[in-house]
Structure 1
């Protein structure tokens, strides 16, 4: 069973079937799709419903925890923050997107910090990592602000819309996470 979390400005909860039209609207924005590794554009009809069903299955099996980011102020869906689990290596990949009208407000960083805590404290992961296209520095900034460290860059690593893209990787190990507490 996937938990629900609360941060200062957000509720992080499992996706519901009623979120599908908003997911299609927000993730289907060409500017959101352009800067993510896997969101298609145009966003096909029915894809959000299928994806939400896959989210439930993933959480039930402990393989991934995609959270709907809900603004407490407006009670509306503003994005997604997922922690995708590789059980055999006790690590999780942080992946996310935020609707364009909510960019630059710190919501992704706020959610990332909460999911990092969830990954280390509740799931007992050894490492959490994330990746972003080099042409999406805002995503890299989320990783940095959430306490992750730069680990490297892979040149021309993915093919996005017929163009090869460079990817940067950030990570945080359990030891680094636990040491952060002593620094505060």
Structure 2
């Protein structure tokens, strides 16, 4: 069986590739920043040891699968990871991303995501979804730039942080079936609604 796990991609400014053992320090730089990780499910990493464990648990395991999209993205100049893009191979096909603060507001997340979205479409995905905390509207702007459209809002008691979060769910269908809406979060969480002014 052909391995479709995180094929290397290139954009104008970036290389997207797998994280490797040599990237632990760069991975730590991305995941240790409190501001970067405010709207992410995990707590900021506190040490290189934690970063190493995180790499093994989140990335090494995923790279053993036959298919996957867990990318480090790096500037072409030095090939050092400054952020990540993931698309889940679970049914939600959830798109997630993070970027070191000093590279914010340069369009890099959108550039990296576009490349990954193109790849999953090519590989036969029918759609992707993405969610963002309503207190993080910039993330929603990335979703809109990718052509995703708002579907609904839901409240979740978020783990492991154990905080109440209101999420907006966006979706992009690749096959023109625009009535398709991924309903799992809507069905799972008691508080859900559609905002009229998004």
Is the shorter-chain TM-score for this pair beyond 0.5, marking a shared fold? yes
Higher-Rg member (1/2): 2
Q: Which residue of 1 aligns with 2:148?
A: 148
Runs of 4+ in 1 over 3 A off after TM superposition: 42-45, 159-163
Deviates more, 1:105-114 or 1:155-164: 155-164
Q: Which residue of 1 aligns with 2:172?
A: 172
Deviates more, 1:103-112 or 1:70-79: 70-79
Residues 53-91 of structure 1: CA deviation (Å, up to 9, x unaligned):
3413213314632111101134332100011102xx4x5
Secondary structure of 2:125's aligned partner: coil
Q: Distance in 2 between the 1:160 and 1:167 partners?
A: 16
**Normalising to structure 2: TM-score of the pair?**
0.78
Secondary structure of 2:118's aligned partner: helix
Secondary structure of 1:117's aligned partner: helix
**Normalising to structure 1: TM-score of the pair?**
0.84
Q: Which residue of 1 aligns with 2:43?
A: 40
CA positional deviation for 1:7: 0.5
Q: Which segments of 5 or more consecutive residues in structure 2 lack a partner in the other structure?
A: 179-198
The 1:107–1:177 alpha-carbon spacing in structure 2 relative to 1, beyond 3 Å, is: farther
Q: Which segments of 5 or more consecutive residues in structure 1 lack a partner in the other structure?
A: 179-184
The 1:50–1:159 alpha-carbon spacing in structure 2 relative to 1, beyond 3 Å, is: closer
